Amino acid sequence: MSEKTYELEAESELRVEIPTTAELTLVSGAAEVYGTEMVVGKLYTLRATNIAVFTWKGGTIKLSGNAVDSPYVAKETPMLSYINVHAALDQRRTTAAAASGTGPRTMIVGPANVGKSTLAMILANYAARVGRRPIYLDLDVGEGAAGMPGTLTAMTVDRPLDIESRFARCKPLTFHYGHGKINESTRLFTLLVDKLAKAATRRAERDPVVASSGYIVNTSDLDKDMVMSVAAQFEIDVVMVLDNERMYNELQAAIPGSTVVKLTKSGGVVPRDMAAKEAARLSHVKQYYYGSPGQGALHPALPVVHFDDVSIFKIGAPPVPAACLPFGADPFGHETQTVPIKPTQDLVHACFTVSSAPAGWQDTEGFKLIETEGLGFVSVQNVDMEERTMTLLAPAQGMPALPCTLLLCEQTYSDASN
Ligand SMILES: Nc1ncnc2c1ncn2[C@@H]1O[C@H](COP(=O)(O)OP(=O)(O)OP(=O)(O)O)[C@@H](O)[C@H]1O
Ligand SMILES: [Mg+2]
């Protein structure tokens, strides 16, 4: 266990990679973590994460913890450009509020590992700090910060995110995607983005503060065509391109009605390999069931459900050769087809979205299982083929309410209780 105190000069940041657990205290001055202000004297416990403690005016930080990986203080940060962007967005929000109109619809794009999610969080926090209520739309399916990896989520941010638990207290609207990458099923992705866009429009219509606060859309590593498609679906008018000169130039020409802003990547962004991303996902899954320091410990339940009380589906059927398709059939229809799954031992450690589909639902023109909202998630702990039961890990007693429909996350994760 090591402990060290850092005196930060104005406009500098302390960057820390935390493989296990570390504790952080702002001893004096003022500082923020990704846009959320720290409270002087409060002990923050952080687990398996990378953070930057930034100060505009200077501050003293105490850091202690196990295996804190070589923290360092950086004087060069892009925070000035980020706050200028926030100020410009906020100016638009003020104008929109005065005219009872729609605020800036911002989307953050760029290659993998350039700090897109971090910038989205900073902008959402800055907006909430000045009393705005933007809609945060998370299309970063690899991370799934507000839901679970493999989901798309939307929520209004009406107060800065908690430093320790981030999105854990938000109650997002969730759609099941089931893949870690967008190119694994662009058809399903586009369909779900459409659902999110409609839901966001309805939400903004109900609340003028939400409408004038606009959107903040966090994305994964999208190519130019997908950026254009998503921008059109959300009627985006500000695109922020992080660390990609070529895409910046291409988008300027391709979406002339929008403001396209080029921003530089922070030197603090930690390049994460597949293993590091997988570890981050696992820690996120654990947090969903067991809670986090900021949220308090949760006491998950282990309901035993009978095979007859659950219907399990995965999204995506094997492709049918074009020659075998009936005339006029959609050649990509298989991508959004729901396929029933029979419980087997293979499901142990699988993670499911509990669908909001009512008991006895049927896919019709007006109702599609893949378009239903997720109520929460459960993981399979055990499958008893003799008794025909499954033991699930659920975040609360009474979840899932039976009978229920479960959607399989294509990626399976390790047991969250390990
Ligand atoms: N200034 C900083 N100091 C220290 N760590 C940082 C800083 N900015 C970002 N990070 C860390 O770098 C990692 C990558 O950042 P982030 O997740 O924002 O990138 P991304 O572009 O969203 O990645 P992906 O393409 O996987 O979605 C994260 O663990 C984040 O906490
Ligand atoms: Mg991201």
Instruction: Kindly report the CATH number assigned to the domain that includes residue 347.
Output: 2.40.30.330
Q: Let me know whether 110 and 191 are in one domain.
A: yes
Dihedral sign computed on CA atoms, order 339, 343, 348, 351: positive
- Cβ of 138 closer than 6 Å to ligand 1, yes or no, is no
Kindly give the distance from the C-alpha atom of residue 390 to the centroid of ligand 2, in angstroms, as a whole number: 34
Q: Let me know whether 243 and 307 are in one domain.
A: no
Q: Let me know whether 220 and 123 are in one domain.
A: yes
Q: Let me know whether 14 and 137 are in one domain.
A: no
Q: Let me know whether 67 and 90 are in one domain.
A: no
In a domain, 291, yes or no: no
CA-CA distance, 148 to 139, in Å (whole number)? Answer: 11
Number of neighbours of residue 304 by Cβ within 10 angstroms: 12
In a domain, 287, yes or no: no
Domain of residue 165, residue span? 79-263
- Cβ of 117 closer than 6 Å to ligand 1, yes or no, is yes
Q: Let me know whether 389 and 350 are in one domain.
A: yes
Kindly give the distance from the C-alpha atom of residue 175 to the centroid of ligand 2, in angstroms, as a whole number: 18
- Cβ of 140 closer than 6 Å to ligand 1, yes or no, is yes
CA-CA distance, 116 to 76, in Å (whole number)? Answer: 18
Two structure tokens written together for 396: 């609360």
In this predicted structure, what is the pLDDT of residue 418?
Answer: 33
- Domain at 231, CATH number: 3.40.50.300
- Ligand 1, atom 8: nearest CA belongs to which residue? 269
What is the β-pairing status of strands 259-263 and 291-292? Answer: unpaired
CA-CA distance, 195 to 211, in Å (whole number)? Answer: 18
pLDDT tens sequence across 89-131: 999 999 999 999 999 999 999 999 999 999 999 999 999 999 9
Q: Are the CB atoms for 229 and 139 separated by under 8 Å? A: no
Q: Let me know whether 344 and 385 are in one domain.
A: yes
Number of neighbours of residue 176 by Cβ within 10 angstroms: 29
Last residue of a domain, one of 77, 111, 144: 77
In a domain, 50, yes or no: yes
| Closest ligand 1 atom to Cα of 111 | 25
Last residue of a domain, one of 210, 235, 263: 263
Residues less than 5 Å from ion ligand 2, measured at CB: 116-117, 140
Two structure tokens written together for 408: 């399989």
- Cβ of 10 closer than 6 Å to ligand 1, yes or no, is no
Q: Let me know whether 219 and 309 are in one domain.
A: no
Q: Let me know whether 131 and 252 are in one domain.
A: yes
Question: What are the φ and ψ backbone dihedral angles of 57, each rounded to 5 degrees?
Answer: -120, -5
Q: Let me know whether 152 and 242 are in one domain.
A: yes
In this predicted structure, what is the pLDDT of residue 294?
Answer: 67
In a domain, 413, yes or no: no
pLDDT mean by block of 10 residues, the chain; 418 residues: 90 92 95 97 91 97 77 95 97 97 96 95 98 97 85 95 87 90 89 96 96 97 93 96 94 87 94 84 86 78 91 82 71 80 89 86 81 91 95 84 71 38
In this predicted structure, what is the pLDDT of residue 293?
Answer: 73
The total number of structural domains in the chain stands at 3
Q: Are the CB atoms for 313 and 407 separated by under 8 Å? A: yes
Kindly give the distance from the C-alpha atom of residue 122 to the centroid of ligand 1, in angstroms, as a whole number: 12
In a domain, 286, yes or no: no
CA-CA distance, 187 to 191, in Å (whole number)? Answer: 6
In a domain, 229, yes or no: yes
Q: Let me know whether 14 and 51 are in one domain.
A: yes
Q: Let me know whether 72 and 88 are in one domain.
A: no
In a domain, 417, yes or no: no
Last residue of a domain, one of 77, 106, 139: 77
- Cβ of 46 closer than 6 Å to ligand 1, yes or no, is no
- Cβ of 143 closer than 6 Å to ligand 1, yes or no, is yes
- Domain at 19, CATH number: 2.60.120.1030
In a domain, 272, yes or no: no
In this predicted structure, what is the pLDDT of residue 183?
Answer: 85
Question: What are the φ and ψ backbone dihedral angles of 298, each rounded to 5 degrees?
Answer: -105, 160
In this predicted structure, what is the pLDDT of residue 409?
Answer: 62
